[in-house]
Structure 1
């Protein structure tokens, strides 16, 4: 008699997940900003004992051009062990990879040979539009009862954006997640507090306001996303909206505490119209409602107009442009990507209301063009953007491209892609791994990273 066993990469608690074996491969979404070449999932060797360390060891090109692979995720994760919607015999084997521009989704099987994954299903944009009413799939999370996909636009590209579900077995689009949307119109990220039956969503804008780049009139008019929305996860009903105010634009990445007994999380605001600063906010339970508090301000840096891109010349400053954040598995360290200035910041958030800066490196940047120890004479462009942390918190990976249409607005010469790894000290502090600087092959730019076996932004847990 055979005995079913849960996937060994599933862990009931974040504490146990942090004891997982080190990752050996990373899957990275790579796209052609000119939309001439097919996008690809590139497989990077991240095993320090391998002769191919810090190099691309496999490539899976897409069958189409112009997808703009962006954020993607696993089909299943540790939430499959939750008591409210258990799927303990599901495997973490498929990558669910949306094309943000094409609205197409690829299902990629990594099991037979992790170095040679294959496409097993393609969900065309028409199927998504017809079954869900949405387009521009953006973020993928495996969760209770299915695969949750945030979408930035309706079927016709307008509002509202929202969330739809894919069946976890067939990957067929099931339909729109929201039963009672309330006032929510804009969408971006979505994540949850499983222990409190609460889902949280954030905002960017409708596709017509970003697909050809950020529109200054929309940004300066305060018409990009600036709100968080809180939902009843089971009843799929909108509960509460928190407006950050028109000064704050682009409320993006959601990072709830991994410990399911905690009722707080972190979100980044990309830019303040008042002074070009970026900020980090914490949401938390306050009595019978949710509240937010700004906990970190990251100021813009003065710069001469003649070294700034046209979009910034009248401001005379480099905004930090915090475009991604990530939270370590033990909820202790928050990592903050400053794509504009080139900084990757590490904060101790053991007390989420009193963060302490504990680590900082600089690479790239609009003005600084800081180099890497491996290539000390190279003036690098782009900056820390998509950041991912190993489950044990010891390794931090990041890439340097934001979005095809936005990259040239801040780096007019274009971005030469690269991927970097940092070593993180257990008590705080960051250092470049001098052996890990991966110059990306010309024609593609790297974006999101997923680590084999899971990482700090792929899984959610139901046990503390």
Structure 2
């Protein structure tokens, strides 16, 4: 008699996931900003015992050019063990890889040879638009009922953006997720509190306002996204909107507490129109409703206008541009990527309302162009952007490109791609791994990182 056992990379709780084996490979979205060469999923050796450590092992090229691979995720994860919608015999096997510009979705099978994934299905843009009613798929999360995909535009690329569901085994599109969207129009990230039947979404802008770069008039007019939306996860109805104020532009990355008994999470606002600062906010359950509180403000740094890109010369300062954050599995450390100044910051958020800065490194940056121990004093550009944390919290990986058309607005010389790794102390503190610097081929730039077996922004849990 055959015995079924759950995927060994699924864990009932974040506490158990922290004891998982160390990752040995990382998958990285790699795109050609000129849209002449197909994008790829890069496979990186992250095993310190390997002879090819810190090397690019493989590039799995997409079948078309111009996709702009951006964010991607697994078909299944630890949420398959939740009691309300269990799928304990699903496998964390496939990478679901959308093209943010093309709206094409690629399915890559990693099972036979994790270092050489194979493309097994491609959903073309017309199929996505017809079946989902959305385009520009951005965020991919494996959830209890299937694969949730947050998309930035409707079938015509206009408002509203929203969420659609895909089957986690066949990859067929089931359709639009929302039953009642209320006032929500703009879309960006989506994640949830499984223990509180709540889904949260954030906002960026419509495709026309970012595909050729940020539009200064829209940014300075406060017309990019600046709201959070809270939904009933199971009735799929909008429950509450929180407006951060139009001065807080680009309310982006959602990082809910991993412990499902905790009803709070963290989100970043990329830039303040008042003073170019960036901020981190905690959302939290407040009686019968949700509230937010600003907990971190990172100021802009004065700079010589001669060293600034045209977009910033008139301000005489470098904004931190916090474009990504990540939360360690034990909900203790929040990592904050400052793409403008080049800082990667670590905060102790054991008290989610009173963060303590416990570590910082600097690499790249619009003005500072800081180097890396392995780069022999060479100036590096770009800055900490997409950040990912290992399940045990001891290793932090990040890349340096934001989005093809936006990179040049802040780094006019064109970003030269790289990926680095930090070692994190269990008690706080971070430092570069001097052996780990992956420099990207000149044709491509790196974006999101996914780790073998899961990471701190891939899985959600139903048990504490």
Please tell me the TM-score bracket, short chain as reference.
Answer: over 0.9
Question: Within 2, Cα distance between the matches of 1:166 and 1:369?
Answer: 42
Tell me whether 1:276 sits opposite 2:276 in the alignment: yes
Within-5 A mapping of 1:398-409: 398-409=398-409
**Superposition deviation, residue 169 in structure 1:** 1.7
Please show how residues 213-224 of structure 1 align to structure 2 within 5 Å.
213-224=213-224
**Greater Cα shift, 167-176 or 11-20:** 167-176
How much does 1:376 deviate? 3.3
Q: Residue in 2 aligned with 1:204? A: 204
The residue that corresponds to 1:315 in the other structure is 315
CA contact (8 A) 2:75 2:169 kept: no
* Cα distance in structure 1, aligned partners of 2:105 and 2:98: 4
Distance between the aligned counterparts of 2:363 and 2:376, measured in 1? 11
Match of 2:96 in 1: 96
- Measured after TM superposition, the shift of residue 200 of structure 1 is 0.1
Aligned to 2:461: 461
Q: Is it true that 1:335 corresponds to 2:347 in the alignment?
A: no
**2:8 maps to what in 1?**
8
- Matching of residues 44-193 of structure 1 within 5 Å: 44-193=44-193
Distance 2:288 2:176 in 1: 28
CA distance in 1 between partners of 2:150 and 2:80 (Å): 20
The answer to whether the Cα contact below 8 Å between 2:295 and 2:355 also exists between their aligned partners in 1 is: yes
Cα deviation, residue 131, structure 1:
1.0
SS in 2 for 1:149: strand
| Residue 233 in structure 1 maps to residue 222 in structure 2 | no
- Are 2:296 and 1:296 equivalent residues in the alignment? yes
Deviation at 1:377, TM superposition (A): 1.7
User: Cα deviations across residues 65-110 of structure 1 (Å, max 9, x unaligned)?
Assistant: 0000000000000000000000000000000000000000000000
Aligned-pair distance for 1:360?
0.2
Q: CA deviation at 1:181?
A: 0.5
Which portions of structure 1, spanning 4 or more consecutive aligned residues, are displaced by more than 6 angstroms?
Answer: none
Distance across 2 between alignment mates of 1:171 and 1:106: 10
In the aligned structure 1, how far is the partner of 2:410 from the partner of 2:450?
26
Shift of 1:59: 1.4
The count of aligned residue pairs is 464
Measure how far apart 1:375 and its partner are: 1.4
Q: Which residue of 2 aligns with 1:437?
A: 437
Supply the distance in 1 between the matched residues of 2:20 and 2:46 (Cα, whole angstroms). 15
Question: Which secondary structure state, in structure 2, belongs to the residue aligned with residue 15 of structure 1?
Answer: helix
TM-score with structure 2 length normalisation?
Answer: 1.00
Deviation at 1:442, TM superposition (A): 1.2
SS of structure 2 residue aligned to 1:255: strand
Q: What secondary structure, in the 3-state scheme, does the structure 1 residue paired with 2:182 have?
A: coil
Distance, in Å, in 2 between the alignment partners of 1:253 and 1:440 is 25
TM-score (norm 1): 1.00
Alpha-carbon distance, 1:372 to partner: 0.3
Q: CA RMSD in A?
A: 0.4
Checking the alignment, whether the CA contact within 8 Å between 2:75 and 2:142 is kept in structure 1 is yes
Q: Distance in 1 between matches of 2:255 and 2:238?
A: 19
Unaligned runs of 5+ in 1: none
Q: How far apart are 1:40 and its partner, in Å? A: 0.2
How far the C-alpha of 1:210 sits from its partner, in A, is 0.4
